[in-house]
Chains A and B, each alone.
Chain A
């Protein structure tokens, strides 16, 4: 079976620094994959390569068997790969609803000329998009905040909004960059249940970068470990927890992963 996502010999250099070195990986439909590693391991760089923000220095990224590593981020998004960002990149001045609608816009098909004249067809398309966006917000318990300024939302709601926005793209692959950042262990476990539900409801494949070990070990079926841009281990949660190389990468000597 063709993997959903295949990475071959992926390398990315910045000047003299190799942020990602000769990475290889396969992700299959419905996988719940976790990417872990110490800070600076290249995890976000990896996501940036996947979503098209960076071009690889060498190597290939294949999505459903087709190369996507030379495409623009908007093209990759339309192909079905959506992501969230480590630092939450919402459209802060815009409303919650507008944030989601913008992601949904890639499904609307009308030309600038049609927009200029606001034809009935456009109005129907717009109404449809508003409805779909509102439904999505309701699912995420953000419905009542639809007209609030996105930047005014509390932190946890902003995170949820970012995920909702990503889902408005109707992706088949969702990349989550530290969705539990800043959460206490209780909130992180709630997020775990939430993500399990999201994956089922939207039939997604998910790759998640996280530092919250309980979340990652509890959610993911497979984990890849990066250190200094190199893949040092991959396997099931139990295998990773007991892998000496992984332990060493985090703690330098003996010790347990927290």
Chain B
């Protein structure tokens, strides 16, 4: 009985720490900013990993889902309910952002029924360009200049909380029949269908969940930077997400954390390089594909991230001859 409560207790402690830490003065504003960015990146990474890692697809357009979440949540807090109290409006904005993005995941999911591989990559790319171009042309969303004056609702506790929820949600999905179905699709879609896997439900579940959490990350992002415009969500943003997934490890929760961590830190370290900074990420992507395509922790995970029942039993010691 004691064991069951350990994980929730630790997580709650983490939440408390994240709330108290800023007040203690131990963590300056910059460090807070980095930690929040880390949490946002972790959510993005684990959401993309669901489609690119576990399902083995190639979605290039996830920045589009992030954009939808960012804009939907920002429009809520800036245009619809300005001045509403944060504790009320922020959770609503986050859920709205996630839901709008999740809804957009449906058509992409449907399109993935008949198309795979290259063509799905093309479709997700088109999706990204359409979202970006659409946002640039709608005056209500601020056009190419974007939205300003978004309230700074994102703080460490909120970022931490959403990150935990995202990882918990994806973990539960992965260790269920839907997750197994998704992995089966990656391995061999024809065999999966022949073994009774409803590949359509699985694909929809993957895309919608993935899009939802990308939207959540977008909402957090918007309320951290306080300013968003369509060019924040372009192919370079998608590339950032791809590096996180393929560096940390495909189909891995721990890998998602790792990848997000490395890329967040790297982005900060490389700041002084200016425009040249943007050469590093794509270069990393190329090197990863050439030398370590499944990433550091591909297809494996730390035990403490898996549900108790899934942790492998210790192998029995060989009997002495």
B312 at interface by CB-CB < 8 Å: yes
A102 touches B173 (CB 8 A): no
The proximity string for B residues 285-304 relative to A, scoring 1 for CB distances below 8 Å and 0 otherwise, is: 00000000000000100000
Tally of chain B residues near chain A (CB < 8 A) = 33
B197 touches A91 (CB 8 A): no
A6 at interface by CB-CB < 8 Å: no
Contact (A122, B194) CB under 8 Å given A94-B183, A130-B309: no
Contact (A123, B309) CB under 8 Å given A74-B197, A105-B180: yes
B177 touches A105 (CB 8 A): yes
B177 touches A74 (CB 8 A): no
Q: How far is the CB of B191 from chain A (nearest CB, A)?
A: 4
B194 touches A77 (CB 8 A): yes
The proximity string for A residues 72-108 relative to B, scoring 1 for CB distances below 8 Å and 0 otherwise, is: 1110011000110100011111100010011101101
B84 at interface by CB-CB < 8 Å: no
Partner of A85, one of B186, B191, B209, B309: B191
Q: How far is the CB of B72 from chain A (nearest CB, A)?
A: 21
Tell me which residues across on chain A come within 8 A of B175, comparing CB atoms: 118, 126
Q: How far is the CB of A94 from chain B (nearest CB, A)?
A: 6
Q: How far is the CB of A88 from chain B (nearest CB, A)?
A: 9
Residues in B171-191 with C-beta less than 8 Å from chain A: 172-173, 175-181, 183-184, 186-188, 190-191
A102 touches B194 (CB 8 A): no
Q: How far is the CB of A237 from chain B (nearest CB, A)?
A: 29
Q: How far is the CB of B124 from chain A (nearest CB, A)?
A: 21
A169 touches B172 (CB 8 A): no
User: What separation, in Å, do the CA atoms of A221 and B188 have in the docked complex?
Assistant: 33
Tell me which residues across on chain B come within 8 A of A91, comparing CB atoms: 183-184, 187-188, 191-192
B35 at interface by CB-CB < 8 Å: no
User: What separation, in Å, do the CA atoms of A82 and B197 have in the docked complex?
Assistant: 12
Number of A-B residue pairs having CB atoms within 8 Å of each other in the complex: 106
Partner of B196, one of A53, A78, A93, A118: A78
Tell me which residues across on chain B come within 8 A of A77, comparing CB atoms: 193-196
Partner of A53, one of B177, B190, B205: B190
B173 touches A112 (CB 8 A): yes
User: What separation, in Å, do the CA atoms of A184 and B232 have in the docked complex?
Assistant: 62
Dominant secondary structure at the A interface: helix
Partner of B191, one of A90, A112, A123: A90
Tell me which residues across on chain A come within 8 A of B180, comparing CB atoms: 94, 98, 101-102, 105
Tell me which residues across on chain B come within 8 A of A105, comparing CB atoms: 177, 180-181, 196-197
What is the interface residue range for chain A against chain B? 35 or more
Partner of A112, one of B184, B186, B201, B313: B201
Contact (A110, B177) CB under 8 Å given A102-B184, A117-B172, A118-B172: yes
A126 touches B309 (CB 8 A): yes
User: What separation, in Å, do the CA atoms of A162 and B190 have in the docked complex?
Assistant: 14
User: What separation, in Å, do the CA atoms of A234 and B195 have in the docked complex?
Assistant: 30
Partner of B172, one of A51, A92, A116: A116
A39 at interface by CB-CB < 8 Å: no
Partner of B187, one of A52, A94, A106: A94
Q: How far is the CB of A22 from chain B (nearest CB, A)?
A: 26
B169 at interface by CB-CB < 8 Å: yes
B307 at interface by CB-CB < 8 Å: yes
User: What separation, in Å, do the CA atoms of A146 and B192 have in the docked complex?
Assistant: 19
Contact (A103, B196) CB under 8 Å given A115-B177, A130-B309: yes
Task: Identify the 9 closest CB pairs spanning chains A and B, nearest first.
Answer: A106-B196, A115-B176, A91-B187, A89-B191, A77-B196, A105-B177, A73-B193, A103-B195, A118-B172
**14 A-B contacts (beta carbon < 8 Å):** A52-B193, A74-B198, A74-B199, A78-B196, A91-B191, A94-B180, A102-B184, A102-B195, A105-B181, A112-B205, A116-B172, A118-B307, A166-B195, A169-B196
User: Which B residues fall within an 8 A CB radius of A?
Assistant: 169, 172-173, 175-181, 183-184, 186-188, 190-199, 201, 205, 209, 299, 307, 309, 312-313
Known contacts A77-B193, A112-B178, then 17 further A-B pairs from the complex at CB < 8 Å, ordered by chain A residue: A53-B194, A78-B196, A82-B195, A89-B194, A94-B183, A94-B184, A94-B187, A98-B183, A102-B181, A102-B197, A108-B177, A115-B173, A118-B172, A118-B176, A126-B175, A126-B309, A129-B177
